[in-house]
Amino acid sequence: MTETAHHHTVHTPAEATRDLLNRLTVTGGGLLAIILLAILAVAGAVRLILLAMPEPEPPTSWGYAVAILAFLMSTAQAAPILAFATRLAKGYWGIPLRRAADLLGLSGLVTTPLFIIILFQLPDFHGRTSTWNDWPYAPHLYDAVAICLLTITNLAIIWLTSVPDLAAARDTRGSRLASFLAMGWTGTKRRWNILTTGTILLGSFYLMWFVYVHMYLASDLAMALVPGWHSSIFPAYHAVSSLQAGAAATLLTLLILRRLAGLERYVGVDPFWGASKLLLGTSLLFFYFTWSEFIPMWYGRLPYEMNVLGVLMFGPFLPLFGLSFVLNFVLPFALLIWNPIRKSIMGPTFVAMLILTGNFIDRVRIYLSSWSVAGPVGMSIEVWPPIRPPALGDLAIIVGALSALMLLYLLALRVVPPVSLWEHKSALLLTVERRFIKTEVAVVAKPR
């Protein structure tokens, strides 16, 4: 038995079912918002197609498109890992954020086609230093299969964790779509065992494959393009900083849902307080991997190593490097070491916004600089590339990709509740309130 430090509003599972299912239309957004997001998404897609056809632009023109791809894969597509971690550890504080985190995985429907298009804009890989060593059809075939498998896994997680809620919508609202997606769910003991076991297995595979895909992303779309950049640390840095940004994206999404959908009775301070500790820990890991990536090249001081540092950190991109370091480590660490900030809703959310901003700046730094020096195999870096401000077409792709994710999210919220109904109801069945000194606390049983 564990005791939480906050008072919880007690309501019955039946009340929670009716209330959350009645919010589907509200949380799904208005028709005007959906139309606007669709227009922006289509505009971004059109610009992307024009950039790729009929004669593809040089690699330099693709820097911001690759940066927004890496940003979405480092934030929204990393968010489901937080939901999996709380399920694996049976952390009931994470129940309110699991649906918000899982649905962010819909970003795979945006990143997968974007990744595949960008793969065909890479310069010739034959003879290039990479993880593939001139394997046939590398990296295009293997990277494409990897990102597709990651997206399919997350869609399976979203569907599996939503089946009981879809069945509830089928039974109470008569929704045909919910009835189709629920696939005859009846809630037998055997099906519940399949759901809980399948969720953990899929989540474990997703975590493993997420790190694997980020190795491809970091090595093939960044390291292989910069002459002399050889690092076994950078892919790990890329994945760890993504875990930090994924938790940040979840908290920001959760706050928006809490405010706009009126979820105060379901989303209290506990998920923000719990996730803030993860943000603090990953901020320290951000520093560790940044330092580990920097120090070997700094002390080696070989000409090609100094060129890599000049391209990525200490040349024209120094302001972006410094700003991302401050936003991803210095400020989160300085703020989250204080318990009153961690033990709040707005404190961790503010830190999450800093981290998301820092992550975007960091991805622009990495991929804009890498694609600015991408050229024929064997080419040396003669001049450090300047920072190229985003053109109107770049902004269209960035806004379009983000709008496509928001559109998918709103459409999903018209089908499933913003809070995982069956997990919330299971917590209610395991929770009682007991007197503790001058207040009452919620006591949650943890079954074996």
Q: What is the pLDDT of residues 72-117, one digit of tens each?
A: 999 999 999 999 999 998 888 899 999 999 999 999 999 999 999 9
Please state, in angstroms and rounded to a whole number, the distance separating the CA atoms of residues 353 and 251: 9
Residue 442's beta-bridge partner residues? 433
Using the structure block, give the residue that is written with the tokens 């929204």.
Answer: 76
Q: What is the pLDDT of residues 268-302, one digit of tens each?
A: 899 999 999 999 999 999 999 999 988 888 888 78
Q: What is the pLDDT of residue 421?
A: 86
Contact partners, residue 259, CB within 8 Å, separation at least 6: none
Q: pLDDT per residue over 170-201, tens digit each?
A: 888 777 888 888 888 888 889 999 999 999 99
Mean pLDDT computed over 149-154: 96
Q: What is the percentage of the chain residues whose pLDDT exceeds 90?
A: 59
> Residue range 314-334: average pLDDT?
95
pLDDT for 386-439, tens place per residue?
Answer: 899 999 999 999 999 999 999 999 999 888 888 888 888 787 777 677 777 777
What is the reported pLDDT for 131?
83
Beta strands in 286-369 (DSSP E): none
**Residue 12 pLDDT grade (very low, low, confident, very high; cuts 50, 70, 90):** low
pLDDT in tens, 30-78: 788 899 999 999 999 999 999 988 776 788 899 999 999 999 999 999 9
CA of 79: how far to CAs of 73, 82, 283, 326, 358, in Å?
9, 6, 16, 22, 17
Q: What is the mean pLDDT of residues 365-382?
A: 84
Kindly report the pTM of this predicted structure.
0.92
Tell me what pLDDT residue 7 has: 42
Beta carbons of 412 and 260 less than 8 angstroms apart = no
Of the pLDDT bands very low, low, confident and very high (cuts 50, 70, 90), residue 11 is low
Residue 350 contacts by C-beta under 8 Å, 6 or more apart in sequence? Answer: 335
CA distance 264 to 257: 10
Residues 6+ apart with CB under 8 A from 416: 24, 99, 103, 162, 165, 166, 169
pLDDT score at 10: 45
Residue 162 pLDDT level (bands cut at 50, 70, 90): very high
**φ, ψ for residue 90 (rounded to 5)?**
50, 45
Whether residue 6 has pLDDT greater than 60: no
Which region among 44-48, 257-261, 335-339 has the lowest average model confidence (pLDDT)?
257-261
Burial (0-12, 13-18, 19+ Cβ within 10 Å), 145: exposed
Residue 125 near residue 107 (C-beta atoms within 8 A): no
Among residues 325, 328, 326, 296, the alpha carbon closest in space to that of 309 is found at 296
Can you spell out the DSSP letters for 356-422? Answer: HHHHHHHHHHHHHHHHHS--STT----SPPPPPPP-HHHHHHHHHHHHHHHHHHHHHTTTS-SS-HH
Answer with the residue of higher pLDDT: 437 or 18: 437
Q: Which long-range contacts (CB under 8 A, 24 or more apart) does 137-142 make?
A: 139/216, 139/220, 142/216
DSSP state of 94: G
| CA dist., res. 437 & res. 448, Å (int) | 29
In this structure, are residues 227 and 311 in contact, taking their beta carbons and an 8 Å threshold? no
What share of the chain in percent tops pLDDT 70?
A: 90
Mean pLDDT of 221-239: 91
> How far is Cα 342 from Cα 349, in angstroms, rounded to an integer?
10
Question: ∠106-112-113 over CA atoms, to 5°?
Answer: 120
What's the chain's average pLDDT?
Answer: 88
Q: Provide the pLDDT for residue 109.
A: 97
Give the pLDDT mean for 348-368: 96
DSSP letter at 76 equals: G
Greatest alpha-carbon span in the chain: 73
